[in-house]
Structure 1
């Protein structure tokens, strides 16, 4: 599925813990993993310079954690100085990464406007899928829990669907993953259409539940052709609330999303469904730009 993966950590997001679970990540299909840490430029003084001391400390910390790495996975460590987004994009290109894993703190739209978001910046600068993990969860998992989580990162996905071009793009991306996987890392997905009559322009005119179910049945048949187990559900109500409730009931590994507005001026003016779900979801989010 995703064989070449870039894992980004700032050591406060809990993702550095994944260095202890390389063998478990291998069971999720990963064969080449790069652990990346970006060190800010030292700006105390007239001339900005590379903070070599912090680079060495980060390299040592990651290397020590990888002392018992899996022989089935090639692992690299990259510690570079500069702006995180620029470094992530450069390293992803260098290693031909197929997936970027990063943490994302829960925050409001107002806070995001003030301080920015690495995920939001990346989402419109790369076509590489992003797996966004909530740091509070990764930090509090026991080793046993994190072992299982790493093994089943993509086993069961929830796909919010609303009939738009973006939603159809998401379905095609998931179908492509299922077609390309060498083993059944992705086994099941749940299609959930929430009929939310909130007047947003990016959602078509409200349709009847029977019409929505008919469309989901067509998509289900298409996805079952690539050996996926597919469930469908039509709900009514507030879209974010209903999707999170559906996720809890469906026992999923992650929520799959796609959007073309996150990180853009348009999303700042009117927050998109995908951006809101990223802010409120405690579930991992597999995001397709």
Structure 2
């Protein structure tokens, strides 16, 4: 379904990105496999990761090229997109998947931990998407696929930096969709549930934690790839500005913020009347202080 397409996949040296790159190639796309080779926390690491995925694609008869630039650098992002145009003559889809984690409870988080995650998870998709947008506008077509997270859409402990970036991606995607729909360019998000390097540091010290991780390990990165492939294909030409989640064999359409309930006073509000009437009337519709695991409570199927 992707014959003749050229797709950039960032952070594709392992995990979800690798499986997306492999599927794109199996479906006929030429793929730019981008991976800095960094560790989970962002330090320099295995620069050969991208090339190994390229070798896998080539051995299966596909076409791919490796790129090791950082998405967190505007010039690097331009080179990532340039690799697609230079090697394959065009670019049709971008999968913004690259990511790092620097988890810390908010009151203990350092500026460096905040900056590093925001640069990769929010600036990165902006830089790469902005570089690709020029080509998409010129050719009057293109698909952006951004990886968000229920940590941002719903909430999670110890991830203020990651959660803020991932909710920001959802807004970025919507803005791209609105601004570029007239050029036949679409932009969608996927919130993936998958066992990967990004969540492999979850503690397994108690039987409860071990059981939780065992369930998560059922959700392999390969389960995410088909939806990304679909969104990159012409079959998804009418799918735009949506947020999906994939959890093992389930695909969810996620809600987006809309007015939930309202109260009105013709004479206007005072501090006292808000306390006495306004807030009690709204309280029944308050959202509880939930995290992702409190919402997705059933076992993956």
Query: Which TM class, normalised by the smaller chain length?
Result: 0.3 to 0.5
Q: Which has a greater percent of helix?
A: 2
Relative contact order: is structure 1 or structure 2 higher (C-alpha 8 Å, sep ≥ 6)?
Answer: 1
Q: Which has a greater percent of strand?
A: 1
